[in-house]
Each structure stands twice: as C-alpha cells, then as structure tokens.
Structure 1
Amino acid sequence: MDHAQQPSIPIIREQREDILMITLNRPRVLNALTVEMFSLLKEAVAYAAAEESVRLVVLRGAGGNFCSGADLSVLGMLKEPDQADEALTIINDLLLQLHRMPKPVIAVVEGAAVGAGLNLALHADFVLASKEAVLQEPFVQIGLTTDFGGTYLLPRLVGMAQAKKLALLGEKISGSEAEAIGLIYKAVEAAALPQELDRLLAALRRMPGQAWAVTKQGLQVCLEGDLEKALAWEKEQQPKLITHPEFQEVIRQRLKKG
C-alpha cells in the first residue's frame, strides 16, 4: 500500500469522510517510535474518540513497514528516572486511550511490526496484515521485558503457551502464522490489503455505533471477571441498548421489510 509521506511530520493525521487515518511516518527507520510520536498519537486517538464525525480509525505505517519498535532515543530516556516517568506516563495514557477507544480501530500491518510496534498494533480491535509481514517480540533477546501492554495482551490473545513462545523466545513469525495462532484478525496477500481493508471498513460502518462500543467494553470488562460478573454486566447494559434509538431504528427497518 502506498502512503503519501511528509518526512517532517512523524505522525500524519488525515480524515477521509468518517475515517481517521493515522500514519506512523518515519520510513527511513521503519517508523521507530519517539516520545514526540507517543504524544502525537495520544492527541490523535483522543481526537478520534471525541469527534462525532469520526466513526472508524485506521492505524498504519509509511514506507512498507508498520513499526520497528521504540527509537533508541526512548531507550536512552528510560535510563533517567525523571525522564522515564514522564515518557512512560505518556505511553501508558496513550495505550489506555487506544485500548478503551469506543470506535473501531484497525491496524494495517505491512513489513515489520516489532516489539513496541507490534504491541501498539495489538491494541487495535482488528489487525489486518500481509501474509509476508514479520511480527516479533524481541525484548528478552536484548535484555528487556515485553512492554507496551504486551504482557497483558499476549496471553489473552493466544493463550499462555503461545504467549511464552512469542515473549520468552522472541521468534519471528509471519502474518500468516500470526493469524493461525489467533494473534491477529486476518492475513492476506500484500496486494489485497487495500480491498480487504475496504471490506472490513464497510462491514464495521454498518454496525450500530452505540451497541458496538458497549459490546467491546463488555468483552474487556467481563474477561477480567467470572460468569456472575459477566451476567451482571449484561443485565445492566442490555436494557439501555433496547431503549436506545439505534436499536429502535433497526427493529423499525426489519418490521418494515417483513
């Protein structure tokens, strides 16, 4: 997929009708993330959540790669306690905002999605990758621990055995392998990515937004609790949705057709 590049802008934010396109734009270093980029991403995600005209969010990388992880400048900052606290606060705020985003987020992964870059993508609701993409959690190989929420996400997405394979061995896997183990939504041929993205956007656009947001929240909340908690949550939310105008309109249209 060819993305218009503006080299001086590390995060490009472009709204196309009801879709907000967020592009990581440091292609010469495979879109390695800086603290400035964390702040800009946080602003973009906050805008998407609050802006009524935005219904869908697409996160992608420029230059044929998604993201190679954190820039060396970030690792340098983490050596200093004050700088580390400031940087990690921005990062954590960004990830929580993205994780809790009430609108659909699609990450489109081409080329490399490594370390923090991979885990950033995994916070999206749907990761659409090329079959040839290279995904990796290399942290332990360089003496670090999985971060960017990877310790939370990996066992929940693929189970503990596969999470240990990814995080404790740091092996590279392809987009096809990532789909096979349930790490991502789908892998397709690189040439088919634009069409598959359009298909997914069209499917999501047809969904009632309020019900979609509540259901996503329910999946996240109920994953942390037991069945009793899940049933209590459903009991609280379903009556609200039944009286919501979106549901009433769906019923009206179906009765009209029938």
Structure 2
Amino acid sequence: MATNTSESSPVLFSVSNGIGLIVLNRPKSLNAINKALAETLLKSLDECKDPSIRCVCITGAADIFCAGQDLMEASASSPQELGRKIGDLYNPIVRGIQELEKPVLAAVNGPAAGAGANIALCCDIVIASDNAYFLQAFTNIGLIPDSGGTYYLPRLIGWQKASALMLLADKVQAADAERIGMIYKVFPQAEFLQERDRLTARLAKMPTKALALTKQALIASRTNDLTLQLDKEEENQKLALMTADFKEGTQAFFEKRKPNFIGA
C-alpha cells in the first residue's frame, strides 16, 4: 500500500495499526482546498478501501482543519472552471467518504470553513478541539453552500438553525457545535491529539463489517420510509450474522472476555 509522508505534499497519508490517517497539509494557506489537494485527497480515500485499514481519520496540519476553497486559485479561474471543480472534485470527495465501507472520523483541530466545514460534517463521527469553529462562509463571497452542506447540516441541527447559519454565515464555536448536535464531542486542545488517537484505535479494533453495515443503514434511512428501513435493517443484519466477528463476539460474551474482532 502506498503512503505519502512528504512534507511538500498537499495531503499526507499514512497507515498504522489499521488506521488510515489523512492530513490536509497546506498550513500556510490554512489548508485551503486547491486542485492538487482535492486530487490527492481523493487518491488517499481510494487507498483507504484496502481491507487492512479499519478506520479512517481526516484532520489538518498545524492546528487548522480547512479554510475551504483556495480563493487565490479561484480568482484565477473562470466561473465555468470553478463550477466544473464541484462536480469533478468536491462532490467525489463527499461521495468517497460516504461510500467507504468503514468509519471515517473528522478530527477538526482548528477552523473549518466553507467546503472544509462541510467535508468534516459529512464524516461518520466529528470531534473538535476547543479552539475550532465551523463557518458556512459561502454567502460572504456571494456563493451558496456546497460539498453537501445543504444536505447534511439541516439533518444534523434542524432546518431553521441550518438556514440561519448558512444565510447569515455565523461562526459556530466548537462547544456550541457540540451543544446543538452538529458534532459528536469537543475536547481541550491540549488533550485533542490523545483523544483522537484513543477514538481511532477503538474504532480500528471494532467489527469493521458491522460498522460498515450500520453506516449503510443510516445512509439509507435518509430517504427510506419505515417499511423500507425495516427491510434494510433485516438485509444488513443477515449479512452481519454471517461474519466471523459476530461468531467471535458471541463466543467472547459466553466466555466472559473481550472479543478479538478481525474486521471480517
């Protein structure tokens, strides 16, 4: 499996103990998304399909998560070129995160604005350091929210709150983001890295196929009615019942020990 730890790369990618770590790495530009970063991020997400990777973590370099679209690059592009980037790069990133058959954790270690905020919010679990904030910055420059923002944010915090945050471009501090249900948890900056690593290590030792099937069921629930969702749960539960991890989990229960899940 290829890894990329070159400090000059716009995205760093490494694998350790079943965890695929993706670091947005343009700190001098606030980890803003240019074409090179988007393309490298897509490549890293594709490499995370490797079955030896059981959890993926996306974070940013230098206490910054992501400032969104690189406006320097945008100012040198035509509106038509920028529009194509949404379909060619931004949307595939969101789909790539959602379609990955393993949990994806966004570790928001600093400001997350525009597309950077929405890429974080499309992940399965979002944690943040207490110096982080989330900003739907689009209307500040005459644009609309993209990268799935108009889809995810209302489902996370409700229509009225999401509408106001997007129209007014209000900044949401990490503690408030947790309070309103936008993210899972916030941690003090001094403890953030330790908490991130603790959570990813926990996910990497869990029954990966069951996590993937749970993720798929949750995604299906966005459009299913109750009858269809019950059918989806039945379908996915039948698949989970066939896994080695189900057998191990039940055996460990009867033997009163911790299960040793292998992700299969």
Does 2:250 match 1:251? yes
Distance change (3 Å), C-alpha of 1:82 and 1:169: closer
Task: Decide whether the 8 Å contact of 2:66 with 2:111 is kept in 1.
Answer: yes
Counterpart position of 1:222: 221
Deviation for aligned residue 1:90 = 2.2
1:63 aligned counterpart, secondary structure: coil
Paired residue type of 2:25: N
Which region of structure 1 is more displaced relative to structure 2, 133-142 or 25-34?
Answer: 133-142
Counterpart position of 2:231: 232
Distance change (3 Å), C-alpha of 1:27 and 1:86: closer
Which region of structure 1 is more displaced relative to structure 2, 38-47 or 121-130?
Answer: 121-130
Cα separation, 2, equivalents of 1:69 and 1:94: 13
Deviation for aligned residue 1:77 = 6.5
Paired residue type of 2:108: V
- Give CA-to-partner distance per residue, 1:132-164, whole Å, 9 cap, x none: 212100111221100111011111111111101
Cα separation, 1, equivalents of 2:64 and 2:128: 11
Task: Decide whether the 8 Å contact of 1:7 with 1:26 is kept in 2.
Answer: no
1:41 aligned counterpart, secondary structure: helix
Deviation for aligned residue 1:74 = 4.6
What's the % identity of the aligned pairs? Answer: 36
Task: Decide whether the 8 Å contact of 1:137 with 1:171 is kept in 2.
Answer: yes
Does 2:143 match 1:144? yes
1:106 aligned counterpart, secondary structure: strand
Cα separation, 2, equivalents of 1:77 and 1:89: 18
Equivalences for residues 179-190 of structure 1 within 5 A: 179-190=178-189
Cα separation, 1, equivalents of 2:85 and 2:57: 27
Counterpart position of 2:22: 22
Cα separation, 2, equivalents of 1:55 and 1:137: 31
Equivalences for residues 60-71 of structure 1 within 5 A: 60-71=59-70
Counterpart position of 1:204: 203
2:14 aligned counterpart, secondary structure: strand
Task: Decide whether the 8 Å contact of 1:78 with 1:84 is kept in 2.
Answer: no
Paired residue type of 1:102: E
1:33 aligned counterpart, secondary structure: coil
Distance change (3 Å), C-alpha of 1:86 and 1:29: closer
- Give CA-to-partner distance per residue, 1:55-94, whole Å, 9 cap, x none: 1111111111111110024534663535632553222112
- Give CA-to-partner distance per residue, 1:106-144, whole Å, 9 cap, x none: 111122111111111112111111122121001112211
2:158 aligned counterpart, secondary structure: helix
Does 2:31 match 1:31? yes
- Give CA-to-partner distance per residue, 1:12-38, whole Å, 9 cap, x none: 111123111111111111111101111
Following TM superposition, the consecutive aligned residue runs of length 4 or more in structure 1 with deviations greater than 3 angstroms are none
Which region of structure 1 is more displaced relative to structure 2, 81-90 or 132-141?
Answer: 81-90
Paired residue type of 1:37: L
Gaps spanning 5+ residues in structure 2: where? Answer: 258-264
Task: Decide whether the 8 Å contact of 2:18 with 2:204 is kept in 1.
Answer: no
Deviation for aligned residue 1:204 = 1.5
Cα separation, 2, equivalents of 1:142 and 1:167: 12
Paired residue type of 1:62: A
Counterpart position of 2:46: 46
Paired residue type of 1:211: A
Task: Decide whether the 8 Å contact of 1:6 with 1:25 is kept in 2.
Answer: no
Distance change (3 Å), C-alpha of 1:206 and 1:54: closer
Counterpart position of 1:158: 157
Deviation for aligned residue 1:53 = 1.7
Cα separation, 2, equivalents of 1:156 and 1:74: 31
Which region of structure 1 is more displaced relative to structure 2, 126-135 or 26-35?
Answer: 126-135
1:64 aligned counterpart, secondary structure: coil
Task: Decide whether the 8 Å contact of 1:60 with 1:66 is kept in 2.
Answer: yes
Cα separation, 2, equivalents of 1:171 and 1:64: 21
Counterpart position of 2:88: 89
2:145 aligned counterpart, secondary structure: coil
Does 2:26 match 1:12? no
Alignment coverage as a number of residue pairs: 253
Counterpart position of 2:117: 118
Gaps spanning 5+ residues in structure 1: where? Answer: none
